[in-house]
Amino acid sequence: MLKDLFMSLSQNQFLNSTAKKYGLKMGAQSVVAGTNLDEAIKSIKELNAQGISCTVDNLGEFVFKKEEATDAKEQIIEVIEAIHAHKVDAHISLKPSQLGLDIDYSFCLDNLREIVERANQYDIFINIDMEDHKRLQPSFDILDELSKEYDNVGTVIQAYFYQSEENIQKYKNYRLRIVKGAYKEPEQYAYQNKAEIDANYIKLIEWHLLNGKFTSIATHDHLVINHVKAFVKKNNIPNDKFEFQMLYGFRKELQLKLAKEGYQFCTYVPFGHDWYGYFMRRLAERPQNLNLVAKQVFNTKTNTVIGLAAGAFLLGRLTKKK
C-alpha cells in the first residue's frame, strides 16, 4: 500500500511543480545533493576524498516541450564541463524522457548524441537510465544508435522485467548497472513477487559478472552485497570488473566500509530543483526509508514545521481523492 501511495505521489505534476518552489524539504535534503551544480560538485569532492566515485543525475521530470528538453541538455553538458574542469571522479546518469523521448524520438536522439559527443571528448562515461516499460525499447534503440559512433555509453538492466535476461545477454559488452526496478509495472511485463524479482536480480548479476564487460551492482541490501563478495571470490573475478553502487544519503557507513575494503564504489548523486519525483520513488522502493526522512526532519530545526506540514498536505490530498 505504501509503495502504491508514493508511486502515485511521484507522478503528480501539481505536487512536483509546488515542490520546486520550496527547495529541498520533507527530508529530501538527506538524499539529494543540493539544488545547484556548485553544491553537487562540493558533494562529489567530499565523496571522492573518501575513495568513492560518483554518477551524477541532473534531476528532471515531466518534460513535454522541446524547450524544456533543450534546457535539460544544456544543463547536462554544463555538468560534464564541471566534471572536467574540477577533475572529479564522476560520470553522468540521465533519463531519455528528460531529453525529449516523450516528444519526438529523433529529437531526443540528437540531444543525447550531443551530450555523448561532449562527454567523449573528456573520456566521461554516460549511463542511460531506464524508465518504465513504455520507454524501455525506445531507450534501447537510442543506445544501439549511439553505440555505432561512441563507446562511452552504457545502460541499466531492471531485474523485474521478464525480458531482462535476454537484454543482459544482448548488451553483455557494455558497462551495465543492474537494479531491481523502481516503477510499478503491469504483470504482463514484469514480475510482481518480491522473491521472484530478488532471484532474477541475483541471476543477472552473476551472469554479467562472469560474462560481461563491467558490472555496477546497485543495491543497499547487505545480503546481496555479501552474496556478491562470496561469488567474486569463488570465481576469481577481479575487483576492477565490477563496482557496488548506492544512492546518495543512504547507508553511508556501509558505503565507506566497502570503499575501505578495497571494492570499487560509486554513489548515485542526484541534484537539482526537480527533486520531488525522484524523492517519492525512493520512498516507494523502500518504505523503510521513511525512517531516514523522519530523522532528518526532526533533526533540522529550520525544516521541522515545514517538513511536517508538507508531509501532512501530501497525504491529506491523496486521502481526499479517495
Give residue 31's pLDDT: 81
Q: Is the pLDDT of residue 291 over 70?
A: no
Residue 175 to residue 241: CA distance in whole angstroms: 10
Q: How confident is the model at residue 20 (pLDDT cuts 50, 70, 90)?
A: low
**For residues 18 and 136, which has the higher predicted lDDT (pLDDT)?**
136
Same-domain pairing of 144 and 252 = yes
Same-domain pairing of 206 and 308 = no
Q: How confident is the model at residue 32 (pLDDT cuts 50, 70, 90)?
A: confident
Q: Which backbone phi and psi does 170 adopt, to 5 degrees?
A: -65, -40
Task: Identify whether 280 is part of a domain.
Answer: no
Residue 214 to residue 55: CA distance in whole angstroms: 15
Q: Mean pLDDT in the chain?
A: 85
Same-domain pairing of 11 and 38 = no
Task: Identify whether 187 is part of a domain.
Answer: yes
Q: How confident is the model at residue 250 (pLDDT cuts 50, 70, 90)?
A: confident
Task: Identify whether 279 is part of a domain.
Answer: no
Give residue 260's pLDDT: 97
The pTM of this model reads 0.83
Same-domain pairing of 222 and 293 = no
Give residue 293's pLDDT: 52
Dihedral angle computed from the Cα positions of residues 271, 272, 274 and 277, in that order, rounded to the nearest 10 degrees: 10
> How would you classify the pairing of strands 214-218 and 153-158?
unpaired
If one counts every other C-beta atom within 10 angstroms of the C-beta of residue 67, the result is 8
Query: Which residue range forms the structural domain that includes residue 19?
Result: 1-27+287-322
Helix (H, G, I), strand (E, B) or coil at 20: helix
Domain count, the chain: 2
Residue 156 to residue 179: CA distance in whole angstroms: 7
Tracing cell 509503495 back to the chain, one arrives at 3
Q: Is the pLDDT of residue 297 over 50?
A: no
Helix, strand, coil fractions of the chain, as percent rounded to 5: 55, 15, 30
Amino acid identity of residue 276, one-letter, is: Y
Q: Which of 8-22, 39-53, 180-194 has the lowest mean pLDDT?
A: 8-22
Catalytic residue among 57, 102, 118, 129: 129
Q: Is the pLDDT of residue 213 over 80?
A: yes
Contact 235, 205 (CB under 8 A): no
Q: What is the DSSP letter of 190?
A: B
Task: Identify whether 119 is part of a domain.
Answer: yes
Q: Is the pLDDT of residue 308 over 60?
A: no
CA distances from 258 to 264, 280, 292 (A): 8, 27, 21
Task: Identify whether 281 is part of a domain.
Answer: no
Contact 190, 133 (CB under 8 A): yes
Residue 258 to residue 302: CA distance in whole angstroms: 33
Over pLDDT 90: what percentage of the chain? 70
Residue 56 to residue 53: CA distance in whole angstroms: 10
Residue 228 to residue 9: CA distance in whole angstroms: 34
Task: Identify whether 2 is part of a domain.
Answer: yes
Q: Which of 12-16, 157-161, 263-267 has the lowest mean pLDDT?
A: 12-16
Same-domain pairing of 81 and 204 = yes
Q: Which backbone phi and psi does 161 adopt, to 5 degrees?
A: -80, 140
Same-domain pairing of 48 and 169 = yes
If one counts every other C-beta atom within 10 angstroms of the C-beta of residue 6, the result is 24
Helix (H, G, I), strand (E, B) or coil at 272: coil
Same-domain pairing of 152 and 263 = yes
Cell numbers for 163: 525480458
Give residue 146's pLDDT: 98
Q: What is the mean pLDDT of residues 315-322?
A: 48
Q: Is the pLDDT of residue 203 over 50?
A: yes
Q: Is the pLDDT of residue 14 over 70?
A: no
Give the CATH number of the domain where residue 253 resides: 3.20.20.220
Q: Give the residue among 248, 292, 251 at the shortest CA–CA distance from 267.
A: 248
Respond yes or no: is residue 177 known to be catalytic: yes
Same-domain pairing of 294 and 181 = no
> Tell me: the pLDDT tens digits for 115-163?
999 999 999 999 999 999 999 999 999 999 999 999 999 999 999 999 9
Same-domain pairing of 240 and 292 = no
Give residue 318's pLDDT: 46
Contact 32, 303 (CB under 8 A): no
Q: Is the pLDDT of residue 75 over 70?
A: yes
Task: Identify whether 5 is part of a domain.
Answer: yes
Catalytic residue among 177, 281, 282, 286: 177
Same-domain pairing of 260 and 128 = yes
Task: Identify whether 282 is part of a domain.
Answer: no
Residue 157 to residue 107: CA distance in whole angstroms: 24
Give residue 74's pLDDT: 98
Same-domain pairing of 258 and 310 = no
Same-domain pairing of 162 and 245 = yes
Spatial neighbors of 100 by CB under 8 A, at least 6 apart, are 63, 66, 69, 107, 108, 111
